[in-house]
């Protein structure tokens, strides 16, 4: 579902501007409709964040189709037909309500790493509070912002109140070279065990 939604937003909102959507999460907002925090790369290689509001709207030209239908309030079949016609004329529309540059993000504050809290704070010239739908989504966005800041802004993103083990998992796991050494040690240990179990011929 999320991959289909990403493709739809890319097609309708970002591709016409020559932009590429990198990551998005759904967030809670006070205004009606669904809302998403998106991070994307522009055609000039700038990284931007935005809040996108999704709502239902009529297809272009569908108002003529609706006006041509004779909707009546009586009769179950006519009601069903009118409801089907109305729903078939609706599509999701996406509108950017707020936009920031990633390079202007001075601090990403997770508030409390010891609590399952989906809220985090983005420090620009002002502080923007964001509430994700889950703590996992909050960390998913943080990982994306860290990677994009390293790649496109040439600087590490400052994080506070995050469990860094979940931001950079590679830092707490073995790297590729360590894995090769560990495999060799296990191989030699297995050989020693096999040799110790082999019967020794008696003279």
Provide the whole-model pTM.
Answer: 0.70
Each residue's pLDDT tens digit, 96-124: 999 999 999 999 999 998 999 999 999 99
User: Region 42-54: what's the mean pLDDT?
Assistant: 97
Q: Which residues contact 36 (CB under 8 A, 6 or more apart)?
A: 9, 24, 25, 26, 27, 51, 52, 54
Is the model more confident about 28 or about 172?
Answer: 28
User: Is the pLDDT confidence value at 69 over 70?
Assistant: no
CATH of 2-171, one of 3.40.50.720, 3.40.50.300, 2.30.29.90, 3.50.50.60: 2.30.29.90
User: Is the pLDDT confidence value at 149 over 50?
Assistant: yes
User: Is the pLDDT confidence value at 129 over 90?
Assistant: yes
């Amino acid at each position: 579902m999320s991959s289909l939604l990403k493709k739809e937003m890319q097609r309708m909102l970002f591709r016409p501007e020559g932009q590429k959507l990198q990551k998005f999460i759904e967030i809670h907002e006070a205004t009606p409709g669904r809302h998403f925090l998106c991070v994307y790369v522009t055609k000039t290689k700038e990284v931007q964040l935005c809040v996108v509001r999704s709502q239902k709207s009529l297809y272009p030209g569908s108002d003529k189709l609706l006006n041509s239908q004779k909707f009546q309030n009586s009769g179950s079949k006519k009601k069903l037909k009118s409801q089907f016609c109305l729903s078939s004329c609706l599509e999701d529309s996406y509108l950017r309500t707020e936009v920031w540059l990633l390079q202007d993000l001075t601090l990403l504050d997770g508030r409390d790493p010891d609590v399952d809290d989906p809220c985090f704070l983005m420090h620009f010239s002002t502080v923007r509070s964001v509430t994700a739908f889950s703590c996992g989504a909050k960390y998913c966005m943080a990982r994306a912002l860290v990677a994009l800041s390293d790649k496109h802004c040439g600087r590490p993103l400052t994080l506070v109140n995050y469990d860094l083990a979940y931001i950079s998992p590679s830092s707490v796991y073995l790297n590729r070279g360590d894995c090769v050494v560990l495999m060799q040690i296990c191989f030699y240990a297995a050989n020693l065990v096999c040799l110790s179990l082999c019967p020794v011929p008696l003279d």
